Amino acid sequence: MVRSLSETELKPVTWEYAVQAKGLRVKAGRHLAVTGLDLSIGVGVHGLLGPNGAGKTTLMRALATVLSPESGTLELLGRPVQERGADLRGVRRGTGYLPQEFGYYPKFTVREFVEYVAWLKEMPALAVPVAAERAIARVGLADRADRKLKELSGGMLRRAGVAQAIVNTPDLLLLDEPTVGLDPEQRLAFRELLRDLGADTCVLVSTHLVEDVVASCTDVVVVHTGRVVWQGTPGQLAERGGTGDPGDSAAERGYSALVRQARREAGA
Ligand SMILES: Nc1ncnc2c1ncn2[C@@H]1O[C@H](COP(=O)(O)OP(=O)(O)OP(=O)(O)O)[C@@H](O)[C@H]1O
């Protein structure tokens, strides 16, 4: 049974930054993967870049309130989340999350899956069918809404994952490698969707594809060994690289230069 909401939970909360982290430390298993991270992001599309093991997934999981911070402060949608009695339900209602690997019931259809998540997000029952229909259409799966998840290709499954993340029109949308497995046409459509969502949502999207970031992000966040080592626009990222840095584009060279510098500074 779904319990009714308390007065505190219903009180409107305002914020300038959907995510505000200061000195954030988060463990992945026993390993401290986020090691003192400062980050403030608001409405827009923020690309999260970093080498394998930099802590991107762990950070995403903390922002999705799946992992609790070890220390530091974390405010999500204007609510402090590290304190006892924090309004995690309020944060979760306003958040959409596509994990790197997500679990699902293989026999659910796309529609059932997306509606189920809408229900978990405590959306009003009457609003659910239309919201699910819209989310499914936005990821280009309208013609497959009644197909079972187990019958979908990897790229289609990923798109169903994005649909469940946006069904509640979240204020904070966390997408962990959403473009993995998408064909070139779908990747282009997805970039457009991201730009569209970023007009009124704080979107944090983790990816290894610098070109995706340049095409659809207003802001780039580079992490290394669990910290933010650089934040700026895609244009500023492109300016960071030189001809000696590896990469096929100015932005890729800029990213390589930043990672090299972070490695040098970390003494690795
Ligand atoms: N359950 C775990 N137990 C121990 N260490 C872990 C665990 N999960 C992750 N780690 C370690 O934490 C660090 C950060 O991992 P994380 O998955 O957050 O990085 P990432 O930037 O998302 O990497 P990738 O780009 O490969 O997805 C890595 O060194 C990883 O080996």
Per-residue pLDDT of the chain (268 residues; tens, 9 = 90+): 556 666 656 666 678 899 999 999 999 999 999 999 999 999 999 999 999 999 999 999 999 999 999 999 999 999 999 888 888 999 999 999 999 888 888 999 999 999 999 999 999 999 999 999 999 999 999 999 999 999 999 889 999 999 999 999 999 999 999 988 888 998 898 999 999 999 999 999 999 999 999 999 999 999 999 999 999 999 999 999 998 999 999 999 999 999 999 999 988 5
Give the distance (Å) from ligand 1 centre to CA of residue 29: 9
Looking at the domain assignment, is residue 134 inside a domain? no
Residue whose CA lies nearest to ligand 1 atom number 5: 31
CA distance 226 to 265: 14
Cα–Cα dist 11/188, whole Å? 39
Q: What pairing do the DSSP bridges indicate for beta strands 71-76 and 19-28?
A: antiparallel
Count CB neighbours of 145 within 10 A.
18
In degrees and rounded to multiples of 5, residue 144 shows phi and psi of -120, 15
Q: Is 250 domain-assigned?
A: yes
CA torsion through residues 91, 189, 45, 27, sign: positive
- Position 193 in a domain: no
* Domain total in the chain: 1
**Residue 208 within a domain:** yes
Whole-prediction pTM: 0.93
Q: Which domain holds residue 207?
A: 33-93+203-268
User: What is d(CA 138, CA 150) in angstroms, rounded to the nearest whole number?
Assistant: 21
Is 32's C-beta closer than 6 angstroms to any atom of ligand 1?
no
Separation of CA 101 and ligand 1 centre (Å): 13
Q: Is residue 197 part of a domain?
A: no
Q: Tell me which residue has its CA closest to atom 16 in ligand 1.
A: 55
Answer whether residue 234 is part of any domain: yes
Residue 99 counted as domain residue: no
- Residue 16 belongs to some domain of the structure: no
Residue 42 tokens, joined = 């608001």
CATH number, residue 51 = 3.40.50.300
Cβ–ligand 1 contact at 57 (below 6 Å) = yes
Q: What is the pLDDT of residue 5?
A: 64
Beta strands in the chain (DSSP E): 19-28, 31-41, 44-49, 71-76, 79-80, 95-98, 172-176, 202-206, 219-224, 227-232
- CA–centroid distance, 195 to ligand 1, in Å, is 28
ipTM for the assembly: 0.97
